[in-house]
Structure formats: structure tokens, C-alpha cells
């Protein structure tokens, strides 16, 4: 075996051990996971490598799920989303923080004639939050059909509880193969993919805008590792760029305590 294939073998072994271990941690009952956040326990337990994932907070029942009875938590490993197509730019599923979504959408002014689209919607947490706003429609797309099913079960829960809100709907689709709905769009993203695919997504949006099928669009991008892609577009201008703190009640339910949030809109 040469050094490259030894490296590849090690990576495969690591992956095959890592996710079953994470699944075992994920199946710890919620009160046990919450107990692990007690400062006196956390101090020691977070030094245990496999327990580190607990401290992402993603496996605790998120306050929005506790409040609504939805399921938007957990981490979905890249293998369960991309199968054999996993590479270095394949990111896992994890949900965004509602307070950050509310903060971002509040920057955009009147949303009544806009469609909210989550590119890589996963279990649909941002769509749930978007239904709090007066969007014309709220939709999301994800590669992973099993996450889309969960998002649509969440949609049914939200629709029963808030019949006055615009319904949300998720579709199993590759976001790079979409035909965008006409009108004004708010395109939301939290780490769906890397720069190469991001450039393709922007090219698709720009073509739809230039052909007139999209009237205007904003890009709301959390953890904007590919911000340069949007900064280099002659059609867009940055409207907001800030590191936004999680709401206090969300601290301990996500990997950080704050997140970079960038927004671009089409120039007028």
C-alpha cells in the first residue's frame, strides 16, 4: 500500500467509526444530554473526544422543537446525504438558529411579494421561521429525501398550529437543477456546499434575473465561507454583514454562540 492509499484507508476507517459513535451519543436520552451541559460535568466531559459532539448542542431538543413539537435537531452525516459522492466540500445537516434567521429577515423590509427559498433546507427549521413573516410562499429544496420528508412533517405541524400563516413546502431536488419561481426571491443558505457549486448556483440565479423570470433576489448566507462568490457578482451589493449572537435561550443548542450572517441584494 502506498502512502496515498494508506491515507485513504485511514480516512475510511475513521469515518466508519466516527458516525456510528456519534449515532450512539445522539441516542442518549435528552435529559442525559442536558445534564452533560451542567458546568461541573461539562468541564471534564468535553475533554472526552467522542463526547465533543454532544457539546455542539445539536442533539439536544432545540427550544423551537420543544415549543412546536417539530423535529429539526441532530446532525446528519454527509454519507447519509451524498452516499459515495462525499468529498471535502460535503457538509452535514445541522439546523440554523431561529434568532439569527429572524434577525436576517428583519433586514429585508417588506417581504409580502417575496418567495423564501431555502437552498439545502434539511429538516426545515429556517422555513418554519420564515412562516412567521408575510412571505408569498415558503419553499425549500434538499438532496436528502429523508430530510425532506421530515421537513414536510414539520410543515404539517406548523400548518395545524398556525393555519393563518403561509404554508411551507420542501422538495427533494438538487438545488443546482432548479427552475426558480418567478417574482422576488429571498434565497437562504447555511453551508450547503463549497465555492464551485456556489458559483454555479449564482450563475443560475443571475441567468434567471437577466432573462426577467426573477424580478429581484436577495441572498441570505449563514457561515458565508464562499462570500467572495457573491461579492464578485456585478449584479449584487452587500446589504448586511455581521456576526450575530444567538438568542440567550439558544446558547448550548448549536455549535457556536454567534454566527456570521451576510446578505446581498440585487442592485436597483
Positions 160 through 179 that interact with ligand SAM (CB under 6 A): 174-176
Q: Report in angstroms how near the CB of residue 120 gets to ligand SAM at its nearest.
A: 2
Distance of CA 183 to the CA centre of its chain: 23
Closest distance of CB 197 from ligand SAM, Å? 6
Residue 167 per-residue DSSP state: P
Buried b (16+ CB within 10 A) or exposed e, 146-174: ebbebbbebbeebeeeeeebbebbbeeee
Distance of alpha carbon 228 from alpha carbon 215, whole angstroms: 23
Q: Which residues contact 188 (CB under 8 A, 6 or more apart)?
A: 101, 104, 116, 117, 118, 119, 126, 130, 220
3-state secondary structure of 63: helix
191: contact with ligand SAM by CB under 6 A: yes
Selected range binding ligand SAM among 5-13, 57-65, 137-145, 155-163, rule: CB under 6 A: 137-145
Among 60, 118, 205, 227, binds ligand SAM (CB under 6 A): 118
**How far is C-alpha 207 from the geometric centre of its chain's CA atoms?**
25
Adjacent-strand bridge partners of 236 = 266
Nearer to ligand SAM, 143 or 185 (CB): 143
**How do beta strands 258-266 and 236-245 pair?**
antiparallel
Tell the smallest beta-carbon distance from residue 145 to ligand SAM (Å): 10
Tell whether residue 190 is a contact of ligand SAM (CB under 6 A): yes
Q: Should residue 224 be labelled a site residue for ligand SAM when binding is judged by CB under 6 A?
A: no
262 binds ligand SAM (CB under 6 A): no
Q: In the complex, what is the shortest distance from the CB of residue 30 to ligand SAM, in angstroms, rounded to a whole number?
A: 19
Is residue 113 near ligand SAM by the rule CB under 6 A? no
Number of residues this chain uses to bind ligand SAM (CB under 6 A): 24
* Chain residues that interact with ligand SAM, rule: CB under 6 A: 81, 91, 93-96, 118, 120-122, 125-126, 141-144, 147, 174-176, 190-193
Amino acid at each position: 500500500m502506498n502512502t496515498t492509499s494508506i491515507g485513504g484507508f485511514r480516512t475510511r476507517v475513521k469515518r466508519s467509526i466516527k458516525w456510528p459513535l456519534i449515532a450512539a451519543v445522539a441516542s442518549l436520552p435528552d435529559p442525559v444530554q442536558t445534564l452533560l451541559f451542567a458546568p461541573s460535568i461539562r468541564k471534564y466531559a468535553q475533554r472526552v473526544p467522542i463526547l465533543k459532539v454532544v457539546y455542539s448542542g445539536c442533539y439536544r431538543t432545540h427550544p423551537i422543537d420543544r415549543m412546536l413539537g417539530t423535529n429539526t435537531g441532530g446532525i446528519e452525516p454527509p454519507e447519509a446525504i451524498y452516499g459515495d459522492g462525499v468529498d471535502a466540500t460535503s457538509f452535514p445537516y445541522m439546523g440554523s438558529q431561529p434568532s439569527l434567521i429572524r434577525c436576517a429577515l428583519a433586514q429585508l423590509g417588506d417581504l409580502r411579494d417575496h418567495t423564501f427559498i431555502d437552498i439545502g433546507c434539511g429538516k426545515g427549521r429556517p422555513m418554519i421561521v420564515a412562516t412567521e413573516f408575510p412571505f408569498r410562499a415558503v419553499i425549500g429544496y434538499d438532496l436528502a429525501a429523508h430530510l425532506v420528508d421530515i421537513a414536510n412533517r414539520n410543515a404539517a405541524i406548523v400548518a395545524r398550529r398556525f393555519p393563518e400563516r403561509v404554508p411551507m413546502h420542501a422538495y427533494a431536488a438538487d438545488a443546482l437543477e432548479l427552475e426558480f419561481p418567478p417574482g422576488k426571491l429571498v434565497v437562504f443558505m447555511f453551508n450547503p456546499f463549497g465555492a464551485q457549486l456556489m458559483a454555479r448556483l449564482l450563475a443560475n440565479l443571475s441567468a434567471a434575473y437577466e432573462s426577467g423570470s426573477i424580478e429581484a433576489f436577495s441572498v441570505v448566507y449563514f457561515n458565508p465561507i464562499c462570500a467572495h462568490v457573491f461579492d464578485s457578482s456585478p449584479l449584487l451589493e452587500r446589504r448586511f454583514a455581521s456576526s450575530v449572537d444567538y438568542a440567550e435561550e439558544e446558547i448550548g443548542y448549536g455549535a457556536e454562540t454567534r454566527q456570521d450572517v451576510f446578505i446581498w441584494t440585487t442592485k436597483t
